[in-house]
């Protein structure tokens, strides 16, 4: 009886060892996408009144947890009964990530023409302001749903050779990190300027240490969000390129003499450029047909 109990403990310890190792592997695979998720959500959660930032972020976080609760069971069922679907979804996600990254780069070098409009100062009632807030929250949760699918599928692809119990534990951990970790950091980022303002007002002394730190935090916020956007774009190229090099056997090991990070970035960029060209061509054809 005792030997059976200790054997069970040994099995649990072995499973936890496997989970720990595979969580690190899956974490590395999804780290780039988590960086993009952080950049996107920091942008989505900013722009609200100071008193509404944390309530809005909490509403988005709850929506993100609900997204994971929907996505995870479906992903595990596909992995158990239709494993080929995981590879297909992974490649489709790779195409989307490559397009999104390349489109950001294209927009930077060739900005889209936006109609110049004078900003109009609107007087909104409390009900109208809350309605707009709800619309922004819904948009943020929808974006989170798309990114969550990509994170879960990439994490699942990284542990696809493991037993189902290991897959479930590892991918669930990654999914929770993607929500709690990302939105926790976003909360710190969006409140950075508020904390800086409090440091500035901490005392009446001019040019004190708290003033310097506070002013630094206030000035740094826009640069932090911009740098996250740049890092996220690079991460999109690397993640998408990694998906193609590891999922398509022809590409895996084709450029062994070149560092893998360069290969993955270039492949992601090339696929992204092709996707941008195809999407823009499709838009032009659609406009011509509609006329």
Q: What is the 3-state secondary structure (H, E, C) of 207-249?
A: CCHHHHHHHHHHHHHHHHHHHHHHHHHHHHHHHHHHHHHHHCC
Regions in the chain scoring below 50 on pLDDT: 1-15, 117-121
Residue 184's pLDDT is 80
Question: How far is 161 from 149, CA to CA, in rounded Å?
Answer: 19
Does residue 47 contact residue 128 with C-beta atoms inside 8 Å? no
DSSP character at residue 113: P
CB neighbour list of residue 229: distance below 8 Å, 6 or more residues apart = 39, 43, 104
pTM: 0.67
Residue 9's pLDDT is 37
Does residue 18 contact residue 162 with C-beta atoms inside 8 Å? yes
Residue 7's pLDDT is 44
Question: How far is 125 from 123, CA to CA, in rounded Å?
Answer: 7
Does residue 133 contact residue 59 with C-beta atoms inside 8 Å? no
Residue 264 Cα distances to 184, 220, 238, 249, 289, angstroms = 29, 31, 5, 14, 37
Question: How far is 241 from 218, CA to CA, in rounded Å?
Answer: 36
Residue 146's pLDDT is 76
Closest CA to 229 of 262, 264, 189, 192: 189
């Amino acid at each position: 009886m005792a030997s059976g109990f200790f054997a069970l403990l040994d099995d649990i310890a072995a499973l936890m060892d496997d989970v720990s190792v595979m969580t690190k592997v899956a974490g590395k695979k999804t780290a780039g996408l988590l960086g993009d998720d952080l950049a996107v959500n920091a942008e989505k959660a900013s722009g609200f009144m100071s008193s509404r930032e944390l309530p809005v972020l909490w509403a988005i976080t709850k929506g993100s947890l609900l997204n994971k609760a929907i996505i995870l069971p479906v992903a595990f069922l596909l992995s158990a009964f239709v494993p080929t679907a995981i590879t297909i979804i992974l490649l489709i996600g790779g195409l989307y990530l490559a397009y999104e990254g390349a489109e950001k780069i294209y927009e930077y070098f060739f900005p889209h023409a936006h109609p110049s409009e004078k900003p109009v100062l609107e007087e909104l009632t409390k009900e109208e302001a809350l309605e707009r807030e709800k619309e922004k929250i819904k948009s943020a949760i929808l974006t989170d749903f798309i990114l969550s699918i990509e994170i879960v599928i990439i994490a699942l692809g990284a542990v696809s050779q493991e037993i189902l119990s290991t897959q479930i534990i590892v991918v669930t951990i990654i999914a929770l990190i993607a929500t709690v970790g990302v939105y926790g950091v976003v909360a710190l980022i969006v409140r950075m300027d508020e904390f800086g303002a409090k440091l500035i007002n901490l005392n009446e002394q001019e040019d004190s240490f708290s003033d310097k730190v506070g002013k630094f935090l206030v000035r740094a916020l826009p640069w932090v969000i911009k740098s996250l956007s740049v890092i996220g774009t690079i991460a999109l190229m690397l993640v998408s390129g990694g998906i193609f090099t590891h999922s398509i056997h022809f590409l895996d090991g084709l450029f062994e003499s070149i560092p893998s990070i360069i290969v993955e970035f270039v492949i992601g960029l090339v696929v992204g450029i092709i996707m941008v060209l195809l999407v823009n061509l499709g838009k032009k054809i659609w406009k011509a047909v509609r006329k």
